[in-house]
Amino acid sequence: MQKLNLPTYDFRLKNSENKTLIFDNLRKKYLVLTPEEWVRQHFVRFLVDDKDYPTSLIAIEKQLTINNRTKRTDILVFNNMGHHDIVVECKAPSVKITQDTFDQIARYNLKLKANFLIVTNGLEHYYCRMDFDNETYIFLKEIPDYKSAL
């Protein structure tokens, strides 16, 4: 898999039926290692290992319904009160991040009302804090670590 613009982590990998699988520590199971999954697993580890977010507050592929259609967030981080705090949209490294990507996560956040949005393809990362009063988002240099987000 491609080297990402994130710290390097050790992952449990195995081969099965000519496919490479990666162990998801949160869901406690092996998943097919796609380029998008490679980004998601790295970003979860970044949140946990480098930004100190507790794994108990992180959900992967959390289902939500928008306009009677089932969607899934790639990564959803809750705060200590159980409210949505961070929504992360992951794309494969080969996928360019465009306005459509931001529109997708913004549609999700109309329902979720999270404080922060992150869009990443593993190479580029965009961090935004929501400004609900002005119905916009403010770009940040980085996402706050867990302790400063409290």
- Residue 109 CA to residue 93 CA, distance in Å, equals 23
pLDDT, average across residues 37-62: 94
pLDDT, average across residues 83-101: 93
Mean pLDDT of the chain, nearest integer: 91
- The percent of residues in the chain predicted with pLDDT above 70, rounded, is 98
Query: Could you tell me which residues are beta bridge partners of residue 106?
Result: none
Whether the pLDDT of residue 52 is over 80: the answer is yes
Highest mean pLDDT among 16-20, 134-138, 145-149: 16-20
- Residue 74 CA to residue 135 CA, distance in Å, equals 23
User: What is the pTM for the complete model shown?
Assistant: 0.91
Whether the pLDDT of residue 109 is over 80: the answer is yes
pLDDT, average across residues 30-47: 95
C-beta separation of 108 from 61 below 8 A: no
User: What are the DSSP calls for 50-89, one per residue?
Assistant: IT---GGGEEEEEEEEETTEEEEEEEEEE-TTS-EEEEEE
Q: Band of the pLDDT at 148, cuts 50, 70, 90?
A: low
Whether the pLDDT of residue 149 is over 60: the answer is no
Whether the pLDDT of residue 150 is over 60: the answer is no
- Residue 37 CA to residue 32 CA, distance in Å, equals 8
- Residue 44 CA to residue 17 CA, distance in Å, equals 26
DSSP one-letter code for 11: -
Nearest to 54 by CA among 30, 25, 29, 74: 25
Beta strands 69-78; 58-66: pairing state:
antiparallel
- Residue 84 CA to residue 149 CA, distance in Å, equals 13
Q: Band of the pLDDT at 117, cuts 50, 70, 90?
A: very high
